[in-house]
Amino acid sequence: MSQHPLRLLLDFDDCIRRDRDQPASFLHRRDRRFALDCQDKGISPTIEQWLQQRHRLSGSAPEGPDQDLRRWQRITTGFCLAGGGLGVLAMTGLLFYDGGQRINITVMLAFVGFQLLLALFTTVQSMMGWQPWHWLTRRLRLEPATATRANLQPLLMARSAQAGGSVFAATALTTLLLMVILQDLAFGWSTTLDTAAGSYHALIRAIATPWAWLWPDAAPSQSLVEATRFFRAASEAPDTPPAIWGQWWPFVVMLWLSWVLIPRLCLLALSHWLVRRRAAALLASHPGWQALSDRMTTPTVETGSDHTDASEPPAPRRHTAQSTVPQTPQRICWAGAEQPSLPGQAEADALRAGGRATLAEDKAVIDSIGRDLIGQPAPAVILFTRSWEPPTGELQDFLETARHRWPANTHVTLVPLATDAESSPADHLIQPWLRFAECQPETFISVALPFGSGAPGRQSA
């Protein structure tokens, strides 16, 4: 497992979110057993070890980067691609030269200053938690699922923006060097203000301070500043040699390298550090970590008596399960629920998801049904499951994704199937599905019996 605090935090947050569907007594016994095992081995329990144990118990290794992390990786890639293209266009525009005018150094200084301010603003607003682009994330449905992930969002966006800005600066610098080689560029300076050459030279020397000791030719002299001033309405001074106009290029290269590219790279490294630091802080203060620590340090107490109710079903709840399965062509078989067979002719029309299906196949099922539900006044979906297999976190994630992609008034009916295709499942097998449905958003999920045998105590949310 990766040691990166961000991956550790997202994995831990996801496990805690899934644990909300489990009974408190089960969580206590499981985590207390983990703490005792660590004590026997002479080691202190850590979040990483706890996650490794979770994956061992589930019988599967982590599938890779978290879904939110993959989304931010795609966003960062988009920023980098856009930054690369804009860098070429921006530098080409700044260095446009048709032989009858000068490339104004003053405009170049203003553009460099704007890039530096933009880079600093991106970092400062992320540290303050301000999100001026929040409207875009709402429109693109990028809202985080938990408060922990919401606290990371400003820093992750800043990191993506700094990565795109770094690519912008790098491609622009490459374009500048290519144009210096391929074209005979003529630089000069001009301004409408009544600025003396001495004052402008002092400004240039101050800007060139970081590299003047390393590359003296990249720090223009006062004679060069005086010789390359031009006026819009005046023709070129006859006593200025043509080669003088090109002597500004070392300064322009170092200006862009020192005040655009290097600051962007430094701020990108800072954004990576801030993400790690924020992730570590959120992990240490995560509410789930405090609850986990309490369960690990508190002994479990087993009580006994002459009477045991282990064979008795839970007390009847508020509602009973639906007596009939609704009629809808939108059917899903979850994790092999079509075996041995579905009621009636449902098996032929049902889509397969979960179990051995990949995440891409699950997404394709969600998208396919979502297209069919568009325009229906009361969209409904039937999801067949195996009654003897309790609800899993994988099913929870599948339904969560579907709820965001399907129409808002979609209703899902869970139909737990028995091992015998000709009978309904036992009452104690229905209970976990009823509790699972009650934990879902209101009116989104209900439970129905495959053959309409509405026995008392079988209920839905």
**Cβ contact 156:195 at 8 Å:** no
Structure confidence at residue 100 (pLDDT): 63
Structure confidence at residue 29 (pLDDT): 84
Query: Which residue's entry shows tokens 């500048």?
Result: 176
pLDDT (tens digit, 9 = 90+) per residue, 175-209? 999 999 988 888 888 887 766 788 888 999 999 99
pLDDT greater than 70 at residue 390:
yes
Strands (E), 362-443: 380-386, 411-417
Packing angle, helices 147-182 and 67-94, rounded to 10: 30
Structure confidence at residue 459 (pLDDT): 40
Average pLDDT over residues 25-33: 83
For the chain, give every domain's residue range: 67-280, 331-447
Q: How does residue 242 score in pLDDT terms, banded at 50, 70 and 90?
A: low
Q: State phi, psi for 413 to the nearest 5 degrees.
A: -110, 115
Residue 283's alpha-carbon distances to 1, 10, 290, 423, in angstroms, are 16, 9, 10, 48
Q: For residue 176, give both structure tokens.
A: 């500048």
Q: For residue 39, give both structure tokens.
A: 């004590």
pLDDT (tens digit, 9 = 90+) per residue, 323-346? 567 788 888 888 877 665 555 545
Alpha-carbon distance of 346 to 329, in angstroms, equals 9
User: Per the confidence metrics, is the pTM higher than 0.75?
Assistant: no
The kind and range of the H/E element at 100 are none
pLDDT greater than 60 at residue 22:
yes
Alpha-carbon distance of 131 to 30, in angstroms, equals 40
Encoded amino acid at 137, one letter: T
Percent of the chain past pLDDT 90, that is, above it, reads 22
Comparing 369 with 139, which gets the higher pLDDT?
A: 369
Give the mean pLDDT of the chain.
80
Q: For residue 368, give both structure tokens.
A: 């396919």
Alpha helix ranges (H) inside 20-61: 24-41, 47-58
Q: How does residue 270 score in pLDDT terms, banded at 50, 70 and 90?
A: very high
